Every structure is written in C-alpha cells, then in structure tokens.
Amino acid sequence: MKLSVFGTGYVGLVTGACFAEMGNSVTCVDIDAEKINSLSRGIIPIYEPGLSELVERNVINGQLKFSLDGEAAVASCDICFIAVGTPMGKDGSADLQYVLAVADTIGRNMTGDTIVVIKSTVPVGTSGKAREVIAQRLAERGESFTFRMVSNPEFLKEGTAVNDCLRPDRVILGVSDEESAEIMSALYAPFMKNSYRAVVMDIPSAEMTKYAANAMLALRISFMNELSSVCEAVGADINNVRIGIGSDGRIGYKFLYAGCGYGGSCFPKDVRALIVTAKENGCTADILEAAESVNERQKLVLVNKIIKKFGEDLSGRKFAVWGIAFKPDTDDTRYAPSLSIISELTKRGAVVTAYDPLVKVLPEKNDAVTVAPDKYKALEGADALILVTEWKAFRSPDFDEIKAKLKTPVIFDGRNQYDAATLRGAGFYYEQIGRQS
C-alpha cells in the first residue's frame, strides 16, 4: 500500500520505517526542513535501538522517503497516518493544533477516496473534530471524495519501540465501517503472522483505550511508590512486598517497582489529559489525581533523604548523579525525575556532576551542573552518589572504585539496584526506596 505518515518523531518515524520494512511504500512528512534533510542523509534525530539500521535499509531499497511536501504526500497515498505531537497545553489538556493542521492539509489536497488514521495520542472526540475539518475543506473545494476515519493508537515503549511495532502485542483499530476494518487488518496482517492480535472497536473506545492503558501503568507505579513510604514507616521491605504480591497471577510483576517517580513523554501528559477529559465531561478523577500527586511527591523522596543526611543548606556539597534520561535505553529527558532532583539540590547550594550513557547535555542550562564523560569521573570528590536511572551499566559497578572516588562513601539508590547488607558491610552509608536505613 502507499502510505503517508505525518510527523517524524518517535511514533511517526518508527511507524513509517516499520511499515516500509513490510513492503509498503511510505512517505514520512514533516514541516521541519532541517529534520527532513537529516533523515534523508541517514541522520536519525532520536536514539532508539535498531531504528537507524531500519531507516537506512528502507531508504536504500526505495520503500521509505522523507518529504516536506505534505500536499503531494496526501495526493499520492491510499492511507494517511497522523502521528504528530499532542503536547500538554497550559490547562493540562492535549494540544490538538498539529493534528487538526494535518487534517486541514488532507482536506485541501485529497485527490480520491482516502483512509485517515490518527495514531497520535488524542482525547476522545478528536477523530470527529478531524473529520469536520476535512469535510469542510472538501466542501470548499466542491469535492465529494469518500474518506474514512480510523483511530489506531500506538503502544510503543521508548527503548523497545522498533520491536513493539514489528511484533505488537495488540493492534487497536477504532473504525466506523466494516471496509476500514478490513483494509487496516490487511495492512497489519504481516506484523501478526503467528497470532492475530487486532482488536476492532468503535472510534471513541479506541481513543480512550490508549489513555486508559497509560493511566493504569502510571497508577501501578504510584501505588507502589506510595506503599514504599508506608513500608519505610513500619519496617517492611518494599522489594519483598513486590515479590509477594506479584506472585499473584491477578496482579503480576510488571510495573511494580518502587523508585523516584515516572517521567517521559507519555505518562505525565496522558494522565493529566485524562483528568481534564473527565472533568470536562462532569466526571471525577480522584484516583488519577492521586497518582499524579504521588508521582510529584516521589520525585523528592531522594532529596528529602539527602537533606536528612547533610542538612537543608547544601552549600559546598557536591553530588554525583547516575542517570539523566527518564528511563534506560533512551535519551529522552522529558519530565525526568533526575531533573527535579538536580534542581532541588542546586537550589540549596549544591553542585552536581551527572553521567548518563546517552544524555550528554541537560535540556536547560544550569551553571551548577556538569555532565561527566564516564560514570566514575562523575564521582570524583562528591559527597554522595545518587542513582536515578536504572541503566544496565549501573547494575554491577566497582564499589571499591566508587568508595575511592567519593569524598564520603554514601549512596542514595533511587531504583533499589544494590544489596543493602553488602554495601553497609563494606562501609557505605546506603539508602534506598521503601526500606528503613
């Protein structure tokens, strides 16, 4: 099939490359000329394992192209995918201006019957708004082409997005007619040769499914983080509790790790957008608001432990931070807990040396922060090591070298990566989440 994918961020670029891998002719469109030029030369603007090779292979074989010409892309395709960003607005709602701008482009440039697929994460009712824009533009042109709206939300995880796209655990198809369901099912069939995992439903349900999935995962994280505080207070160990409840088949082990909060481009934005949607429709969102509140509080748990150890005034103190990205295997720092922790430390007069395997520059300049070239270099002369992101490179470090580099052998572990008894037996002051020190 001939596909056009509007947007070359995480979702659009991965989606376009994976559809091209399956033999479709794909044109990825963006309004950013620098990005399109870079992509055309094989320069990938984001880090995602396996993506660079996938893009290069399909550009070489002619299945994947990059373009600034949205008009031509619409005119030549069978299916138009909208995969642009929906950033958080000032009121917390999803900003739909980019989605509707693409709908406008589609309506102005359709030359025949088309399927319009919204893959961006959008509130319930967005497909209807896009439909109105397209219909209005067609009416202005005096055209009566048939177009069908489809909601096909993405479920890609940063760090495993290529695999998630090529081997989806489910494909949600929100449709309003049987023909759209058949065409979209045929498009996705090559991705599901072993077992067919497409779920066909109405469009509003598909739009809600994406938000519901992210909100549920965020709730699990915040539940465990809140429980970790109770465990510390009563003398229980959150890691033992996790194993105990995770062994229940109704609960399972995924997303049950206590830590210093969730971040990234999805959970914070989607939880807030769902809260706004609920309130706009006269509903309460008490559990969602609680999850959001717990997450913001959890980002400061390590800071509070540091203050308890070193005092409120951190002037003259230096801290080493391992991990800047919000999670391993990505360079994404949006809403990353590390940024909140670093900000709170420097506000109190501390200086910070941070290290991350991928992130080499902080998103906002802070004169009190430097980024070290390697993890051990970051430790030199520091009063403590703060582990924030659970990269594999941090799982089995040389603790003798850590002790030698630090001014004092102190570790604050925000991801419960190390064995407390071993470290304390080796002379470390060691604090973790959800367990009494």
Instruction: Decide if 260 is catalytic.
Output: no
In whole angstroms, how far apart are CA 158 and each of 51, 164, 180, 415?
A: 11, 9, 29, 19
* Tokens at 425, concatenated: 């037996």
Looking at 77, 231, 260, 266, which residue is catalytic? Answer: 266
* Tokens at 200, concatenated: 């066909």
Distance from C-alpha of 126 to C-alpha of 142, rounded to nearest angstrom = 24
Identify the three-state secondary structure at position 189.
helix
Site of tokens 């990205």: 325
Distance from C-alpha of 174 to C-alpha of 120, rounded to nearest angstrom = 13
CA triple 190-54-32, angle to 5 deg: 110
Q: Where are the alpha helices (DSSP H) in 281-336?
A: 286-298, 301-310
Distance from C-alpha of 5 to C-alpha of 83, rounded to nearest angstrom = 7
CB burial string 44-74: b at 16+ within 10 A, e below: bebbbeebbebbeebbeeebbbbbeebeebb
Task: Give every CB contact of residue 260 below 8 A, 6+ residues apart in sequence.
Answer: 298, 299, 301, 302, 337, 341, 388, 414, 415, 433
Closest C-alpha among 363, 437, 355 to residue 389: 355
Backbone angles phi, psi at 58, to 5 degrees: -85, -20
* Tokens at 421, concatenated: 């008894």
Helix (DSSP H) and strand (DSSP E) numbers for the chain: 16, 14
**So which residues are the catalytic ones?**
266
